[in-house]
Amino acid sequence: MARARRRLLRSIDVWPGYVDALTTLLLAITFLLTVYVLAQFFLSQALSGREKALAQLSREIAALSAQLAGERTAKQGLEADLTTATAARATAEAQVRALQQEVDRLNGALAATTVTSDNLAAQLADEKRSSADALANVDRLTAQIAELRAQLGQIAAALDASEAKGRADQVAIADLGKRLEAALAEKVAELARYRSEFFGRLRAVVGERPEVRVVGDRFVFQSEVLFPSGSGDLTPEGRQTLGAFARTLLEISKEIPGDVPWVLRVDGHTDSVPIASARYPSNWELSTARAMSVVKYLITQGVSPTRLAATGFGEFQPIDSDKGQAANARNRRIEMRLTDR
């Protein structure tokens, strides 16, 4: 009876230890959930600030583009005015030359009349009247020449002002072009930043796997991760991997502004071992079919078709020029890259 009682007491004393362990586990889980919620909150705040900055940048670019269009329109108007003024100046100069010729002719006639007046006394009165008329015409033509010269001065001043404004407009247009180029370069840099962030997130989702790696601006999947040997149909494991890839792509695409012309290009590559089957007559068809399978599956996961492109390269873009199973395995791959259109 005493031994039975001692065994009963030992069995009862175990329960407090279990209760303490469960309590400690619940506290640890609660702490981890609290840290996760705080991290999500700070991340959403940071992303909201980025979206506001990108919206402001888009508005500035739109304003610069509108200003550039207005300056170009004004330049075209000034060029038309300059052409009209040049034509008017040429016409006025032609009129001045004609009037000057007429004055010279009248001066010659007046001189001839003066020389012959001594010998033609009978015609003196008529010649005097003619001389008076000629002098009157000379005075009238001289006044017209002075008026035309004044008009030419005004036209020349207007031309100089137009040329000066044209040069100023050229400087303004060049400055606007530089600012627009800087804005476009900033968009390209922004796409590169989102590409880097996308690869970083994707690396965290996929994990450290030797058959999945980042090479420069490309994310490379070995074909065995997604497809059976000699087939363009995705395996269940490949669908699972691409599902995680699609979720990451959808998350990062929400942060990329709508005016950034990005597209995800999916490139299919095979090894140099020839394939000949009813379904795939050559490695071209196999590499293209694999790229198309990836694109179609990403579309089923919610990725917009306008942001996807599929390309097959067959065996003609190897990353390992050696001959052997290891080199062939590296060359059989699917490459994905975020790029502009």
Q: What is the CATH number of the domain that holds 72?
A: 1.10.287
Q: Does any domain span residue 263?
A: yes
DSSP 234: P
Q: Does any domain span residue 245?
A: yes
The reply to whether 57 and 184 lie within a common domain is yes
What pLDDT does residue 66 have? 81
**C-alpha of 9 from chain center:** 79
CATH code of the domain covering residue 248: 3.30.1330.60
Coil, strand or helix at 303: coil
Q: Does any domain span residue 34?
A: no
Number of domains in the chain: 2
What pLDDT does residue 300 have? 96
The reply to whether 150 and 214 lie within a common domain is no
Helix (H) or strand (E) holding 264: strand 262-269
pLDDT tens for the chain, residues 1 to 341: 677 666 665 655 666 777 788 888 889 899 999 988 888 888 888 778 777 877 888 788 888 888 888 888 888 888 888 888 788 788 878 887 887 888 788 777 777 766 665 665 666 677 677 767 777 777 787 888 888 888 877 887 887 787 777 777 776 776 666 666 655 555 555 555 555 665 655 555 444 555 667 777 788 999 999 999 999 999 999 999 999 889 988 988 888 877 778 899 999 999 999 998 889 999 999 999 999 999 999 999 999 999 999 999 999 999 999 989 999 999 999 999 888 77
The reply to whether 88 and 178 lie within a common domain is yes
**C-alpha of 276 from chain center:** 43
What pLDDT does residue 73 have? 83
**C-alpha of 236 from chain center:** 38
Q: Does any domain span residue 11?
A: no
Instruction: Please tell me the distance from the alpha carbon of residue 288 to that of residue 266, in angstroms, as a whole number.
Output: 10
Nearest to 291 by CA among 253, 336, 327, 261: 336
What pLDDT does residue 6 have? 67
The reply to whether 185 and 221 lie within a common domain is no
Nearest to 218 by CA among 319, 333, 316, 335: 335
Q: Does any domain span residue 320?
A: yes
Instruction: Please tell me the distance from the alpha carbon of residue 307 to that of residue 223, in angstroms, as a whole number.
Output: 23
- Domain containing 263: what range? 207-340
For the chain, where are the alpha helices, taking DSSP H only? 2-13, 15-116, 124-206, 223-226, 236-255, 283-300, 325-331
DSSP 104: H
DSSP 278: S
* The last residue of a domain, from among 159, 190, 221: 190
Instruction: Please tell me the distance from the alpha carbon of residue 247 to that of residue 205, in angstroms, as a whole number.
Output: 10
Q: Does any domain span residue 202?
A: no
Q: How far is CA 129 from CA 56, 104, 122, 142, in A?
A: 84, 19, 13, 20
Do 289 and 310 form a contact (C-beta atoms < 8 A)?
A: no
Task: Report helix angle 236-255 to 124-206, nearest 10.
Answer: 140
The reply to whether 170 and 216 lie within a common domain is no
Q: Does any domain span residue 69?
A: yes
* The last residue of a domain, from among 155, 190, 225: 190
Q: How far is CA 204 from CA 118, 207, 315, in A?
A: 118, 5, 30
Instruction: Please tell me the distance from the alpha carbon of residue 336 to that of residue 263, in angstroms, as a whole number.
Output: 10
Q: Does any domain span residue 316?
A: yes
